[in-house]
């Protein structure tokens, strides 16, 4: 009995160490700094289930200035894929694209493609008419609130916030049917790593439906490296009782 108890304690301590290491801000920044100057570019993240088990990777592409349907837009993109080690049992990919107005910084079109082995792929395109307060999915119009964002445009706008002047965060989000609100705060702090001070912002928010349905609620925490245009170095999402961490592991120019 004592042996099993000791084994259990050892396993718990190992998981605790892995969780701590994967979420340790100093380790993340130090690892990035060893690869060179931390600059903006293509952001590559390792995704962990429960903050412990590596299950996939995600890539946030570099923002591009383009013309879309005759309008000047910023094209934002992101992809995610499960690790190859799981390919025999499970394979999942996702691709997101957002085209946002360069003046209003709100989405015009949001595209989503999700493929999971053994299931039918999900393809969705959302068109926003911010002036009329509507969005369209497969020809069906729905009412939206002012300055409604999609996930990519929300992160884009979060990175543009001046946390010296702004502490509270609030955004409207809708990519499907119901209107959601993202509401939270950003707390600044300084950390010392290898004799250098880095300024970071811990942005914590709750995402819930506007109709206050208690079963549709999640939380997100993003740690931003402030001096590098609010660069997201760690993202934690807790939804449906599951914790997912995304840790920045590389930046490609």
The residue whose two tokens read 């959601």 is 180
pLDDT band at 128 (very low <50, low <70, confident <90, very high): very high
User: Regarding beta strands 168-173 and 180-193, do their DSSP bridges make them parallel or antiparallel, or are they unpaired?
Assistant: antiparallel
What's the pLDDT at 166?
87
Does residue 234 surpass a pLDDT of 90? yes
What's the pLDDT at 150?
95
Does residue 15 surpass a pLDDT of 50? no
What's the pLDDT at 117?
82
Q: Give the rounded percent of residues in the chain with a pLDDT score beyond 70.
A: 90
134: which strand partners?
Answer: 129, 143
pLDDT band at 28 (very low <50, low <70, confident <90, very high): confident
Where are the extended beta strands (E) located within 139-230?
140-143, 148-149, 168-173, 180-193, 196-209, 217-225
Choose between 20 and 209: higher pLDDT. 209
User: Comparing 2-16, 95-109, 184-198, 210-224, which segment has the lowest mean pLDDT?
Assistant: 2-16
What's the pLDDT at 21?
54
- 34-69 pLDDT, tens digit per residue, is 877 677 789 999 999 887 788 899 999 999 999 988
Identify the three-state secondary structure at position 156: helix
* Token duo for residue 190: 């300084």
Residue 14's φ and ψ, nearest 5 degrees, are -65, -45
DSSP class of 19: H
Does residue 176 surpass a pLDDT of 80? yes
Cα(249)–Cα(45) distance, integer angstroms: 5
Q: What's the whole-number average pLDDT of the chain? A: 85
Cα(90)–Cα(156) distance, integer angstroms: 31
pLDDT band at 152 (very low <50, low <70, confident <90, very high): very high
pLDDT band at 87 (very low <50, low <70, confident <90, very high): low
Does the reported pTM lie above 0.85?
yes
């Amino acid at each position: 009995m004592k042996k099993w108890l000791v084994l259990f304690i050892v396993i718990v301590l190992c998981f605790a160490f892995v969780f701590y290491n994967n979420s340790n801000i100093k380790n993340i920044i130090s690892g990035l700094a060893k690869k060179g100057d931390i600059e903006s570019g293509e952001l590559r993240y390792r995704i962990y289930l429960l903050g412990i088990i590596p299950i996939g990777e995600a890539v946030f592409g570099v923002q591009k200035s383009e013309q879309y349907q005759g309008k000047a837009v910023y094209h934002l993109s992101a992809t995610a894929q499960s690790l190859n080690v799981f390919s025999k049992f499970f394979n999942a990919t996702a691709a997101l694209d957002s085209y946002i107005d360069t003046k209003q910084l709100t989405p015009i079109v949001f595209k989503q493609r999700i493929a999971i082995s053994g299931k039918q792929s999900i393809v969705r395109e959302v068109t926003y008419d911010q002036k009329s307060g509507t969005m369209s999915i497969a020809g069906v119009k729905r009412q939206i609130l002012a300055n409604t964002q999609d996930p990519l445009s929300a992160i884009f706008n979060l990175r543009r916030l001046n946390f010296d002047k702004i502490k509270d965060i609030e955004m409207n989000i809708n990519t499907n049917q119901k209107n959601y609100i993202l509401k939270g705060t950003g707390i600044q702090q300084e950390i010392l790593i290898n004799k250098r001070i880095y300024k970071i912002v811990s942005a914590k928010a709750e995402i819930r439906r506007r109709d206050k349905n208690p079963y549709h609620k999640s939380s997100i925490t993003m740690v931003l490296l402030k001096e590098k245009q609010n660069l997201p170095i760690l993202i934690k999402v807790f939804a449906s009782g599951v914790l997912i961490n995304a840790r920045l592991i590389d930046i490609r120019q």
